[in-house]
A and B are shown apart, each in its own frame.
Chain A
Amino acid sequence: MFHLKIAMMAIRGLRQNLLRTMLATLGVVIGVGAVVSAVSILEGAEKEILGKVESLGADRVLIFNGSDKKSHRAVQVSSLLPEDAEKITDENPKLIKSVSPQYNGGGQTKYFQKNVSGSILGTTESYADINDYQIAQGRFITREHIRGSAMVCVLGHKVARDLFGELPAIGKNVKVNGKSFAVIGIMEERGAIGFVEVDNQIIIPVTTAMGRMFGARYVTMLVAQCESAELVPACIDGIKKTLRESHRIRAGEDEDFQVFTQDQFKQQLGQVALIFGVVLYSIAGISIVVGAIGIMNIMLVSVTERTREIGVRIAVGARRWDILKQFLTEASIISCLGGAMGVVCGWAMANFLSKFTQVFKVYTPPMIIVLALVMAAVVGIISGIYPAIRAARLDPVQALRYE
């Protein structure tokens, strides 16, 4: 009850100079707001990228061209052949379910006047199964298409809609980079697999892509699906063994390919997020320190200005502790109020930026809200303690004479 009255007194003290209180609060609002919006954006981005990484699947192994050691050669080596896919599957029968080679290119797809630019993926029949990516209409490319370098294509959901609208597309011919392809199927709506927006992609046989379209010798990457996620380390060993033999790499020599798993991506992502986190948190931390200095400044002014009031309070029976509590409460109210407003402002700011730029999604973890409020309270106490001690240590006789 007594503490409630002290708190009421503190609130009354703050209301006496509302503008100053608001200005002192502003520092904390900005500080906490910066923390909350920074964390929201960072967490949102991390969550989104993590979602993409996870859409790859925990049982996938990605094999890229080039060495993972720092290469002394200026040019990245390309080494992966489409045949490597089959070799890996054949030599590791109990470990690897299937491997799909992928050749990524880009280009224009035309159907009469409609024109769509998107990515072109040359791959094999196993691509759909590996990614659990279902066909919506027609059928997927087959082993025969691959063998014959057939001029057939399967359209991503968005490509099909953009080119054909509601009209039937199967059996029609589209021009991909000026070459005529027969549409044999349309994929389901899926969004993204890994970092690729598959709805905006055209799938053609890998042989067609490399031979007839782009004239390439090496594939962009191989995607292997293991029998299970637990077997991934064994699969990596198997893949490396097969590829070293196939590429005739002697013992002790560096590999000319890199193997990635979902976990490795996650680790890399974590490192990047950490760097961003350190930068953002230090900026936010600085603004909170500035806010704390603001509160301390205001409280010192307030104590000086109210010296006589403090003298009177002591004269009518306030203990030094009561004076301390009153001023500490004032500082805490300023900072907690600022903290609460900062949480709201930070959240609103992050969401506004997300809506406005459309680049990233935001996620505000509930923990950060609690943390921000606790931090605000701590800031209030730390910045209020010195002015409060000064107030409590005033000599009442001097204070009552103060002009």
Chain B
Amino acid sequence: MRTTRVDRRSHAPQIAIYRSAFMIQTENLHKHYHMGESVVHALDGVDVSIKPGEFVSLTGASGSGKSTLMHLMGCLDRPTSGILRFDGEILGSLPDKQLAMIRNQRIGFVFQTFNLINRTSALENVLVPLVYTRKNFSRKIARDALERVGLGKRASHKPSEMSGGECQRVAIARAIVNNPKLLLADEPTGNLDTRTGEQIMGIFHDLHAAGMTIILVTHEMEVAAQADRMIQMRDGKVVEDTAINAGRREEMLGSAQHSQQRMLREKAPPAQSPLTGTLAPNPEPRT
């Protein structure tokens, strides 16, 4: 008996940085909302697994359930049914207190609208998660985080004195200040111009290279194409889950350009017919 017990112990799995082979694992995940009398199936049986160190883009039209999935992964909400594992732990059963701790120490959030606390400095904004860690900390940690996003010199500036790109970098610094394993970004480039958006994506690439798992919610194909894997959603279901190789990336960027051109055409003032004086029909019907 004694020997078997020792054997068992020796066969116990090695505890590494990650407790599980998967960072996020969902099984038949459902989320329903009640809107008045009707029930909205925001998530309708989602099964995805994301490994540590992956860079995943989560795409889909608005209302497809991508934000809901992100909120569930980020422990901001609880699923109606199904299983959601975060680093091996089943989240549905954890008390609020523990979810708060996971959000604080293992997850970083980046939002489309930055969501910085106005009228306090960049440094104070980055310090916020450290306060809720309930341990003594030095301000240097926050300074280092700002340094990592290239804003070391702007630490004392307020969000109102910064450009959109700088604000988003402060937000990223806030997200990474506690060195989380998972970074969740919800349309991080949505409010930025293309060039600034590229700079922000550059920071995500650096963080990914440093070993962080990144899940990027976006509906822009150029942005989605920069990830290593794309999960596309529609009506609360995963409709596509593919690795992005070079060929696929070309294809996505091409379709993005195509849709951009189409949008430009649609926005252009409609040509007037010289003969009738009435509005000419749209050259291309909307799909």
Contact mask B257-287 → A, CB, 8 Å, 1/0?
0000000000000000000000000000000
Specify which of B74, B97, B118, B136 is in contact with A315 (CB 8 Å cutoff). B74
> Which residues 106-159 in B have Cβ within 8 Å of A in the complex?
109, 111, 115-120, 124, 128-129, 131-134, 136
CA distance A9 to B74 in the complex (A): 25
Q: Which residues of B contact A9 (CB under 8 A)?
A: 131
Residues of A within 8 A of B97 (CB): 319
Tell me whether B100 and A317 are in contact (CB under 8 A). Answer: yes
A12 interface contact, C-beta 8 A = yes
What residues of A have a CB within 8 angstroms of the CB of B119 in the complex?
A: 16
Q: A311-B115, A316-B132, A317-B103 are in contact. Are A397 and B124 (CB under 8 A)?
A: no
Cross-interface CB contact of B133 among A6, A308, A314, A317, cutoff 8 Å: A317
A317 touches B115 (CB 8 A): no
Q: Which of A6, A312, A314, A395 contacts B100 (CB 8 A)?
A: A314
Smallest Cβ-Cβ distance to A16: which chain B residue: B119
Chain A interface bracket (under 10, 10 to 19, 20 to 34, 35 or more)? 20 to 34
Which residue of chain B lies nearest to A317 when distances are taken between CB atoms in the complex? Answer: B104
A103–B111 Cα distance when bound, in Å, is 92
A2: chain B residues at CB < 8 Å are 131, 134
Contact B96 A319 (CB under 8 A): yes
Is B169 positioned at the interface, with any CB of A under 8 Å from its CB? Answer: no
Task: Name B169-221 residues within 8 Å CB distance of A.
Answer: 174-175, 178
CB contact between B103 and one of A1, A5, A315, A320 (< 8 Å): that residue? A315
**Shortest beta-carbon distance, A330 to chain B, in Å?**
14
Q: Which residue of chain A lies nearest to B120 when distances are taken between CB atoms in the complex?
A: A12
B90 at the interface (CB under 8 A from A): no
CB contacts (< 8 Å) of A317 on chain B: these are 100-101, 103-105, 129, 132-133, 178
Is A318 in contact with B115, judged by CB distance below 8 angstroms? no
In the docked arrangement, what's the CA distance between A5 and B135, Å? 11
Identify the B interface with A (CB < 8 A): 71, 74, 76-77, 96-97, 100-101, 103-105, 109, 111, 115-120, 124, 128-129, 131-134, 136, 174-175, 178
Interface residues of A, Cβ cutoff 8 Å to B: 1-2, 5-6, 9, 12, 16, 308-309, 311-320, 322, 395-397, 400
